[in-house]
Amino acid sequence: MRRTDRRRGLLVAGLAVLVVGAASLSPAAGVTPATPGTPGKAVRAPASAAAPLRLTEHQVSATTLQTMKDTYADSSVHTIVNSVNHHLHPDSSSDCAQESTAEPLDPAVSGDDAFCWDEGDATTQYWSPQGMTSSGDADADGVWGTDRVLVSGWGSANQQDHFGRMALINDTDGSADKYGYRWVLPVIPTDGGNDFGIFGSHMGGMVWWGDKLLVTGSLDGDAHHNAIYVFSTKYIYQANTDADWVGHRGDQVSAHGYQYFWPAIGSYSVPASCTSADRSADRQPCFDALSMDRSVSPFTLVANEWVSTGSTGTASRIWRYALNSADAAMPITTDSSGHADPIDIYDTDIVGIQGTLDRTENGEKVIYTADSVGSPATHGIPWRIPLPAAGEQTAAHATTSTGGSATAQHEWAQHSEGMTFMADQDRLWSQTEWAADVNGVWPTTNPIRQRLVFSLPTTALRSSLT
């Protein structure tokens, strides 16, 4: 375990700080798989559900941003994904012999469309894959500049200092670095931009829109909680030492051993803290996954909470916010007071949601997601959730699973996490999380390799679930 700088409580003025609970990163042994059921139709939540989800915008000052520009060595997404030092390996290769069992069963994924991580990342007990986004969110043509990029967020686990990191993956056709990746450390600027500290987040939700990267901040007992943090591709910097501390000391700039770091430029907070143990109807939801819906105007940011498999009588809520134009200073649309209210809030009976794909199909809003199911060697349950139309309280159609059935089928990937959509290719990307032992125990000295990055056509997903 690396030693890290213990300044996570030092925050730039104005960034949201809420200490709350969130979903645990560590697999739990002995959890019973979800019983097949009939979740029925999604319903619109009551108007009172909106107040706890109001966002308040906080921006890092222009002075702080300029200080960072003056202090640190500039870098870029293009530089990072074209100077990779790790590689994903095709699932059809011998490098991924164990991981193939974690692939979705229906719809099936081609061995050329699934990948495992380099050895250390495939088995590390100190990091866990969580949220996912891509240049498909950032721009309609699926590329950022000349690069097609996937971003995989990982949260720390089994460490005293909890924080996040991001793998920037080159997915550019024809590139010598395709399927290579390099780690980047998200950080919080401090001391007016003269210093920075770790970002306490499990990286559960990520969306890249224009030059802005939105990331949820939530992990039990840390500083950056139940908020959405904003990073910009205009402010990415290079460290000048590979030391294991984080920050700026004298003429040295260190990012926990990583070569690149990415400071936040702002955040959005909610009115109160939350706890994942709260099951009351009027509870404060904890942010988990984020996704982007390009099938509406304006585009929207879609958020959801995580409700554990085995929970009964607790609806999983999904809600959305309007997004600004891509060139705006901050990505979420706010009123003159700096507040953003949710546009829609939906109650569903789906548990274990850790990523979504949001679309309009035949004029109906639908969400694809999965119950990731926290049991060893257990495939998840894929779902297609039709949503209520404008002005309607209840969806016109029921939620369905594999084969168009309302009865849950365990056909999805094992222990899946975030999702992202490449609209120009009409493909969904997702990733899986676990590297526990045969009993689902973590940390372990005998991990089973189950971590995959995979893609499939959305036509196959729709066909399977309808």
Q: Is residue 324 part of a domain?
A: yes
| DSSP-based three-state secondary structure for 386 | strand
pLDDT of residue 316: 87
Q: What is the pTM of this model?
A: 0.93
pLDDT of residue 36: 52
Pair type for strands 246-249 and 252-255: antiparallel
N residues, the chain: 466
Residues 6+ apart with CB under 8 A from 239: 253, 254, 255, 258, 259, 260, 261
Q: Is residue 221 part of a domain?
A: yes
pLDDT of residue 30: 38
Q: Is residue 29 part of a domain?
A: no
Q: Is residue 28 part of a domain?
A: no
Q: Residue 178's CB: how many other CB atoms inside 10 A?
A: 16
pLDDT of residue 225: 77
DSSP annotation of 63: H
Nearest to 398 by CA among 311, 314, 313, 466: 466
Tell me the one-letter amino acid at 222: D
DSSP annotation of 159: S
Q: Is residue 22 part of a domain?
A: no
pLDDT of residue 32: 39
Q: Is residue 336 part of a domain?
A: yes
pLDDT of residue 273: 82
Q: Is residue 7 part of a domain?
A: no
Look at the chain and report how many structural domains it folds into. Answer: 1
Mean pLDDT in runs of 10 for the chain (466 residues)?
34 42 40 58 93 96 98 98 98 91 95 94 96 97 98 90 94 98 98 96 95 84 78 98 97 98 96 79 85 96 84 80 97 98 93 93 96 92 96 96 92 97 97 96 95 97 96
Helix (H) or strand (E) holding 118: none
Domain that holds residue 182: 43-465
Residues 6+ apart with CB under 8 A from 302: 290, 291, 292, 293, 318, 319, 320, 356, 358, 367
**Measured between alpha carbons, how far is 411 from 354 in angstroms, rounded to an integer?**
16
Q: Is residue 215 part of a domain?
A: yes
Nearest to 201 by CA among 273, 317, 124, 288: 288
Q: What is the pLDDT of residues 276-290, one digit of tens each?
A: 777 777 788 889 999
Asked if residues 33 and 380 have their Cβ atoms less than 8 Å apart, the reply is no
Residue whose tokens read 């999702």: 419
Cα torsion angle, 230, 143, 419, 154, sign: negative
Q: What is the pLDDT of residues 415-428, one digit of tens each?
A: 999 999 999 999 99
Helix (H) or strand (E) holding 282: none
Nearest to 228 by CA among 135, 298, 183, 291: 291
